[in-house]
Structure 1
Amino acid sequence: MSTPVASQARGGQVPRRRIPARWIAVALAVALLAAIGLSTQYRSAESVAEPSRKQFDPVAYGERTYESKVVPAVKRKAVELPVLVKAMNTDMEGAGRQYGIRQGNGPYSFAVKGTGTAGAVRSGLMPVAVPGLPPGTRVSLQVGPVINGTALRDSVGFITFRQFLNQVEYAQAATALNDQAWEKLLKNLNAPGLRGKKISFVGAFGFLTPSVVTITPVSIKETP
């Protein structure tokens, strides 16, 4: 008589095999990773590096800042040029602290006003003979069309590097203000026609030496 096969269950049914627990764990892990992969959005290195702030617009910055803020500040802070030059010749550091603005350890910038006789325009500069200055002092107004320097930006005190993303934007802000000075004041100014006439002016300059004063103007007017 033959012996019944041990693997057969009652009724002739073959029992189901049990799946090892570790196989189940592996399958669940694979499914979880697949789900994560499907729901994940990948970004390029360039998109991750993109700043969330709006891109700086130098033209818009100049238009909203020059006439409404910079010009009034320069006029309000302006010191008579002979007073400033005398103070600079006596004590440069003291004059800077009293009348000027500086960023960090940079040179001082000053807002000034004065009256004098206009000379012949050369290379975008109009010399002005201002009474009361030490002999040899050379005063010039930038009349364009190219306006150089950062005096309008630096002399008002409320425009600082921290307001901008980087040095490029900071420099663009200065250029934008210079461009506004050209558009709003100098573009339609008959600077050559002022030769020999008495004028009053308001503007700003960055310190070079007490004997060389090159001013970016925000106002130039012929006076009686």
Structure 2
Amino acid sequence: MTARVPARWIAGAAVAALVVLMAVDTEYRTAETAAAAAPATFDPAAFGARNYEAKVVPAIKQSAVDLPVLLKALAEDKEAAGRKYGKRQGTGPYTFAVKGRGEAGQARSGLLPVTVEGVPAGTRVSLQIGPAINGTALRDAAGFITFGQFTNQVEYADAATALNDELRAKLLKSLDVPALDGKEISFTGAFTLLTPQTVTITPVEIS
């Protein structure tokens, strides 16, 4: 007669076998290994330093349209001009890369007014000169930076701020703004269209 093995012994053996299998299959990580495997934290300053001069500025210069040409096209057909010259994601406003030439006025409240020949009457053109640089025009006009490249909206916004910080350090920090008053200047930059009568450009080049 075969002796019966108590059920509790069978259950105990099964649990023990499962523990052994889990131990064999478990990957133990050191703190260094776990840190290396974790998603990289977004570094806005590094993003700005890596992209501003090497990619963003060349992209804006390459696609820049003469400001009078753009404003004339916007007056004729805003949507068609946006599709032809602008960039946007979703249904937001178009952002444009532009270039122009005109007489600089006296800077006030972080803006340098520029009288540009050929723009529609009543149009106010200004360049952002800091210290505060507002908006996301550099990020959006570059054309290769999209929301899908970032984890969330905060990172996407931080990327725009980082590019503005690079602009301030690379161009505006050494710019002698008072000396420009009354002088003929050339500029290249970007702006987001809110109203064609007020064009506030974030510059990447002033000469």
Aligned match for 1:177, one of 153, 156, 163: 163
The residue number in structure 2 matching 1:114 is 100
1:148-194 C-alpha deviation (Å, 9 max, x unpaired): 10000001211111111111111011001111111000011011221
d(CA) in 2 for partners of 1:27, 1:152: 66
Asked if residue 31 in structure 1 is aligned to residue 21 in structure 2, the reply is: no
Query: SS state of the match for residue 135, structure 1?
Result: coil
d(CA) in 1 for partners of 2:63, 2:8: 80
Asked if residue 215 in structure 1 is aligned to residue 201 in structure 2, the reply is: yes
Q: What pairs up with 1:64-79 in 2 under 5 angstroms?
A: 64-79=50-65
Which structure has the larger Rg?
Answer: 1
Residue identity in the other structure for 1:142:
Q
Uncovered stretches (5+) of structure 2, i.e. residues with no partner: none
Asked if residue 55 in structure 1 is aligned to residue 45 in structure 2, the reply is: no
What is the TM-score when the length of structure 2 is the normalising length? Answer: 0.89
Query: SS state of the match for residue 130, structure 2?
Result: coil
Residue identity in the other structure for 1:24:
W
d(CA) in 1 for partners of 2:11, 2:64: 78
Compute the displacement of 1:23 (Å): 3.9
Compute the displacement of 1:29 (Å): 2.5
d(CA) in 1 for partners of 2:5, 2:120: 100
The residue number in structure 2 matching 1:6 is none
Q: Percent identity?
A: 61
Q: What pairs up with 1:90-109 in 2 under 5 angstroms?
A: 90-109=76-95
Compute the displacement of 1:137 (Å): 0.1
What is the TM-score when the length of structure 1 is the normalising length? Answer: 0.82
The residue number in structure 1 matching 2:66 is 80
Uncovered stretches (5+) of structure 1, i.e. residues with no partner: 1-16
d(CA) in 1 for partners of 2:89, 2:47: 20
The residue number in structure 2 matching 1:147 is 133
Query: SS state of the match for residue 196, structure 2?
Result: coil
Aligned match for 1:134, one of 120, 125, 143: 120
Compute the displacement of 1:18 (Å): 4.2
Q: Which has the higher contact order (CA 8 A, sep 6+)?
A: 2
